[in-house]
Amino acid sequence: MAPSFPASELRYIIDQSEALMLLTSAKFSSKTDEVLAEGLEHKPISVGVEKIMEGSKSGDKVTLEELGSEENGGMMLYTSGTTSRPKGVLLPQSVLTAQSLSLLEAWEYSPSDHLLHVLPLHHIHGTVNALLTPLFAGSAIEFLFPFNVQVAWERLATPFLKSNGDAKKKPITFLTVVPTVYNRFLQTHGALSEELKTAISEALKPSNLRLNISGSAALPTPTKAAWAALSGGNILLERYGMTEVGMALSCGLAFEDRIDGSVGWPLPSVEARLVDVDTHTVIAPGADDTTADGKERSGEIQLRGPTIFREYWRNPAATKSEFVEADDGGRPWFKTGDVAVRHAVPGAGTGKSGAWATGPAFFIHGRQSADIIKTGGEKVSALEVERELLSLPAVAECAVVGLPSEAWGQKVAAVVVLSEEGKRAGKGGKAWGSMDMRRALKERLVNYKIPQDMKIVEGIPRNAMGKINKKTLVKDVFGDEDAVRRRSVDLKREKEEAAKQQQQQK
């Protein structure tokens, strides 16, 4: 569990999981006392790591049942809770093994890999991608948590420093982190000493850092380009996964297969399909990927295979609702709730990264519930608009959301954190504003995709994996839904009244 969570959230997880033991280090003993103080249906045995290491003499014991088969034991992680209350995702040993074997084939972990681990362990990214799979391969794992950008830079540089270097420190060959970490690297690089910069330029080359992966949140294209420039052409590999399925889609090891804005192809042993969210029909690869007038057809990603979780713990209704029976007699399909399009990319998907990375590639449009905005009969991908906003020098961070609209059903809105340039990039040297945004996006996006509303904020809250809870953000920035809808009605009336007055004047 994440010690950064409030005590009430930790109590919920302990109760919902029916935990028998709460294991903690001395560093978090006060948090443990707070969690156990009140409000629990049943108190688990609390044991410190130090007691385990010394041999507990307290007499308190927890006996694990005989596993019997790989379907019984494993791990349970809780969903991030960005769209609903966190759910316990049960991952049997067989599932964890299948997820690891899939990644071993696709990303080619080896005993010569040395992975720098800066991620929390209460997410699938930090456990399966950065811990279990490299252990399967016999890779070395070096922990550096919590993440500190200066310490991380120094660790990457150390084997290549001409003075004060440490020959015993092996070069980092494998780095898998979230986009916000890459952004922190890029933001702080300019302030480093010249000696560190020289060593880092060597450390980040593809010949040393053989694989750099970005995931858990959408990667802005400018971040990808800036990292490639800084690292001597090392292109970030993007992939797609979630707690329930581990990693499902990935770009390939060949640089040609690391496509901007794409998450690549279904990983080994994973089956993926797209299902039209309106008609619920399967979109077949190829001819069905586009409509008669040439528009790309978007659909929900549905997955099946040995890497898919077994159930939501103590929540059979949620488990049943997230699966759909297959029409071929095979495993049921898991409904991810994420919407994507799929198309071929010239020069990519030809098998250079393996037989699994062939054909049309997937491009994520976002969560069906939060990132697909229906405005005036058109569907807008919030992630597409965010990528374009982030390519503007005036924007440091952004989140694109849908707001209720009397006229359009929903309207596109943006929450923006300005860069230093943005604070003086507007007309007359003032801070960049809504009109500046619309002008900047006019040549990049069709009109209905350009945000109609924009709010400037100092920062956008994210969870440990860099994800934004957009429902909470909308409420905090724009007010509750009723208030937004009332403003929309008032705005519509004002526009209608203004149009009438103009007509009368004519």
| CATH number for the domain that contains residue 283 | 3.40.50.12780
Beta strands in 139-260 (DSSP E): 140-143, 174-177, 211-214, 237-242, 246-250
In a domain, 1, yes or no: no
Do 112 and 145 lie in a common domain? yes
| Domain tally, the chain | 3
The DSSP code for 129 is I
**pLDDT, greater one: 80 or 123:** 123
In a domain, 154, yes or no: yes
Q: How far apart are CA 481 and CA 484, in angstroms?
A: 5
Which range of residues forms the domain containing residue 20? Answer: 7-54
Region label for 233, one of left (φ > 0), alpha (ψ between -120 and 50) or beta (otherwise)? left
In a domain, 59, yes or no: no
Q: Which two tokens stand for residue 422?
A: 């943005």
Do 235 and 342 lie in a common domain? yes
Q: What is the largest CA-CA distance in the chain?
A: 92
The DSSP code for 290 is B
Do 288 and 419 lie in a common domain? no
Do 179 and 120 lie in a common domain? yes
Do 359 and 412 lie in a common domain? no
Helices (H), 108-209: 124, 133-137, 149-157, 179-189, 194-203
In a domain, 61, yes or no: no
Per-residue pLDDT reduced to its tens digit, 368-418: 878 889 888 788 889 889 989 998 999 999 999 999 988 788 999 999 999
Q: Residue 467: give its domain's CATH number.
A: 3.30.300.30
Among 47, 45, 67, which Cα is nearest to 55's? 47
Do 132 and 271 lie in a common domain? yes
pTM more than 0.75: yes
Contact indicator for 75, 96 with CB cutoff of 8 Å: yes
Domain boundary, last residue among 297, 332, 367: 367
Q: Which two tokens stand for residue 268?
A: 């080994």
What pLDDT was estimated at residue 441?
93
Q: Which residues of 14-44 are buried (b: 16+ CB within 10 A; e: fewer)?
A: bbbbebeebbbeeeeeebbeebbeeebeeeb
Q: Which two tokens stand for residue 487?
A: 């403003």
Q: How far apart are CA 111 and CA 76, in angstroms?
A: 27
In a domain, 65, yes or no: no
What's the alpha-carbon Rg for the chain, to the nearest Å?
A: 25
Do 358 and 456 lie in a common domain? no
Do 38 and 94 lie in a common domain? no
**pLDDT, greater one: 444 or 134:** 134
Do 207 and 268 lie in a common domain? yes
Do 41 and 82 lie in a common domain? no
Q: How far apart are CA 373 and CA 400, in angstroms?
A: 9
Per-residue pLDDT reduced to its tens digit, 457-498: 999 998 876 788 888 899 999 987 666 666 655 555 655 665
Per-residue pLDDT reduced to its tens digit, 146-159: 899 999 999 999 99
CA 69 to chain centre: 32
